[in-house]
Structure 1
Amino acid sequence: MKIDGRFWLTKDGQSFLGTGRIELLERIDKIGSIHAAAKEMKMSYKAAWERINGMNALSDQPLIERTTGGRGGGGTKLTPYARELIATFHRLNELHRQFIDRFSEAGNDPERLARILSRTFLTTSARNQLPATLSSVEVSGLHATLTLALSGSDVLTSTITAKSVYNMGLTEGCDLYAIIKSSDIHIASERPSTDTTDNILSGTIESLESSGDNIEIALRLSGGTLLIALEQRDSLHHFQVGMGAYAIISPLHIIIGL
């Protein structure tokens, strides 16, 4: 079983634009003739003209304009407004397909679909919401250690409760988000001692922005992920754009989102 859906734009309760109507407009724009465009689509001229009239009746502005005379004997072309509508339709249709594809991850599992819906509409104040894949789960007593693969070769370790692993249905290979507040990321100019359980990720400082008593540091990791950290302004002299630096993050400060 697969979740699917067709994309239509309606106006005043009536069908306005769909894939077939957009294709008709695009063929008219390319050929310059309603009759020839209808023929290419194996559609009668009457059916094509009815669709165009229907769209024009609902549109805020005309979609086609006739040209007369000239070497080609005249024809039909789209208005600039029609071309804007086509571009808008394609963009909305692309987003709709991405939305449906995310639903399709659930297959025939309603509970998984519910989790995907929660993830789709989740909004948090945390600056860092990093897409990741769960590489491994190790449960020990009340706690669990998760290994998260970010883009490239960067890896994070997160510690959450074992009950959370069960409630969220976390399994190896599933996609999730590593959510980290910017104030929970410490930036160092030198690599700290390896005798620590903290995550240590290397990268390059991409930007520095100071405001009040704080400085916002954007660190681009070697694998491409961008981290945003918040430090005290008095540490500004330690950093500059383009220099290598390290992000230090406690596993306890990495929240898991689906």
Structure 2
Amino acid sequence: MFNPEILLTLYLNQQLFTDPRRLALLKAIEQTGSLSQAAKQINISYKTAWDAISEINKLAPKPFLITATGGKNGGGTKLSVYAIRFIQLYDLLTQLQHNAFKILSDDNVPLDDILKTTAKLSLQTSARNQLYGSVKQIKTNNVAGFITVKLSDEQTELNVYVTKKSIERLQLSIDKTVLLLIKAPLIKLDDSSENSLSVTVEKITTDGQWCEITFLLASGIKLYASQPVGVVEQLALTIGKQTILSIHPENIIVATLV
């Protein structure tokens, strides 16, 4: 099994800032409240620990350690809020690196698009439909409007209702890559919306009360809809049957990297 050991090392101004050993020292300080005890815990000398912390504090934009000397409760060392947040960020980056190697063997995951790659690495949603595309048109007034998104098949276009504030917050612009999220129950098996699509039934799964239907666009993109068994029977849906489905513009959520 391909299981690389990933050691994240950060340099600032061409000088070592943090590496796994220094992160272990910081975590030990947070746990023990003492630089000397932290050094013992990770099996390094007090001088090595002191020098490492001095270099970190010298390079960091904010102090990492808060040191108290004497006083009613005696002396001690604790991490600053900035240092604790840095440790959390370091751990997140390490996890992302591990996740990145997990998708290396999945040929269906593109590695040339930052949104698609990032979403595959870390984004999990309850929305069954996750469609990638790029913004081709933006129409808005003082409150809200619509964007037109061309999907990754370069054929299918969907109109999405978006407020003006959301357009600004997401920094939407022409040709920007976006991710469209649509919950399966919100896909209707009719042509009642402006987003009407011709599809072919690929698969039907049922628990006796509800059905999950997998549809295929002509381009190969899959869409998933959930409907009561009675609706599926009324429409006489079977594998291979061609039909129409629709997605209301208000039922599509837009996500992107800003």
Distance verdict in 2 for CA 1:120–1:171, change over 3 Å: farther
What's the CA shift string for 1:73-110, capped at 9, x where partnerless? Answer: xxxxxxxxxxxxxxxxxx949839x898555x9xxxxx
Structure 1 position 144, deviation (Å)? 2.1
Q: Secondary structure at the match of 1:216?
A: strand
CA contact (8 A) 1:143 1:159 kept: yes
Match of 2:201 in 1: 205
1:122-137 equivalent positions in 2, closer than 5 A: 122-137=123-138
User: With structure 1 as the length reference, what TM-score do the two structures score?
Assistant: 0.53
Distance verdict in 2 for CA 1:181–1:10, change over 3 Å: closer
Q: Give, in whole Å, the separation in 2 of the partners of 1:197 and 1:240.
A: 23
Given candidates 227, 232, 239, the residue that maps to 2:228 is 232
Distance verdict in 2 for CA 1:164–1:210, change over 3 Å: same
Match of 2:45 in 1: none
What is the count of residue pairs matched by the alignment? 158
CA contact (8 A) 1:154 1:222 kept: no
Which amino acid in the other structure matches residue 135 of structure 1? K
What's the CA shift string for 1:113-170, capped at 9, x where partnerless? Answer: xxx9688533211000001111111112211201011114111100011100100111
Given candidates 235, 244, 247, the residue that maps to 2:245 is 247
Distance verdict in 2 for CA 1:119–1:93, change over 3 Å: closer
Q: Give, in whole Å, the separation in 2 of the partners of 1:202 and 1:99.
A: 26
Distance verdict in 2 for CA 1:219–1:197, change over 3 Å: closer
Q: Give, in whole Å, the separation in 2 of the partners of 1:223 and 1:100.
A: 21
User: With structure 2 as the length reference, what TM-score do the two structures score?
Assistant: 0.53
Distance verdict in 2 for CA 1:10–1:131, change over 3 Å: same
Match of 1:140 in 2: 141
Q: Give, in whole Å, the separation in 1 of the partners of 2:227 and 2:102.
A: 42
Match of 1:29 in 2: none
CA contact (8 A) 1:184 1:249 kept: yes
What's the CA shift string for 1:239-258, capped at 9, x where partnerless? Answer: 01001011111000000011
Structure 1 position 187, deviation (Å)? 1.6
Q: Secondary structure at the match of 1:234?
A: helix
Which amino acid in the other structure matches residue 202 of structure 1? S
Q: Secondary structure at the match of 1:170?
A: coil
Match of 1:54 in 2: none
Give the superposed CA RMSD. Answer: 3.4
Q: Give, in whole Å, the separation in 2 of the partners of 1:170 and 1:127.
A: 23
Distance verdict in 2 for CA 1:243–1:236, change over 3 Å: same
Match of 1:158 in 2: 160
Structure 1 position 225, deviation (Å)? 1.1
Which amino acid in the other structure matches residue 4 of structure 2? L
Which amino acid in the other structure matches residue 95 of structure 1? L
Q: Structure 2: any 5+ residue segments left out of the alignment? A: 8-99
1:38-49 equivalent positions in 2, closer than 5 A: none
Q: Structure 1: any 5+ residue segments left out of the alignment? A: 1-7, 14-90, 106-115
Given candidates 219, 222, 227, the residue that maps to 1:223 is 219
Distance verdict in 2 for CA 1:183–1:241, change over 3 Å: same
